[in-house]
Amino acid sequence: MNSESRKDLYTGILSWFRDNVPAPTTELHYDTPFHLLISVILSAQCTDKRVNMYTPAIFREFPEPEDLAAASFEKVYGLIKSISFPNNKARHLIGMAQMLVSDFGGRVPDSPEELVKLPGVGRKTANVIASVVYDKPVIAVDTHVFRVSRRLGLSDGKTVEAVEKDLTENIPAESRATAHHWLILHGRYICTARKPKCHECGLKEWCTEYRAANVKIQ
């Protein structure tokens, strides 16, 4: 795809999202940046719906980083044992809180470069926090965003980093935080992994994979 065609593709897709999904937001429940950070760490390889079932008790127990930093492994594990990979996540949560207290004055940092220093925080998690909490012009690429971007033709990158680069280069800075939600929600409910709901999708006319499939059928 040449640069002009890709530019038109981005323009059409982003315009459709603006018209049809004007106010997307994260489906994780939270009340403070610290609690969103907990939720995003817990959501790795786990659904937001399941995480939301357990975070109210976690938030009550650990309202501030200092509370979680002083918690025992057993205490944290007991609260998250029904979430995927509870052993690793319990350690990451405690380590994250301890570093927030020792290195960041108990405040969740606003830059991805600082966020990735925290235990349990990779590039995707850092970008989620930076964009959702601080409206930074970054895009978090999870499995949904990766899949949707490639299917639509927004990127042909074979790695998360390559897809993130294409999205960052082609989506205006002021739209990147919102675009993350557009793509992730589209992947979660319409452009699903196993059985995409193409008949319900408003992006068919721009979708590279849909057009290719229909050409083969004809």
Catalogue the active-site residues.
124, 142
Please calculate the CA angle 185-186-188 and round it to the nearest 5 degrees. 60
Whole-number Cα distances in Å, 38 to 60, 127, 205: 13, 14, 39
* Rounded-to-integer distance, Cα 57 and Cα 207, Å: 42
Closest residue by Cα to residue 119 from 50, 28, 26, 44: 44
Q: Are 163 and 155 in contact (CB under 8 A)?
A: yes
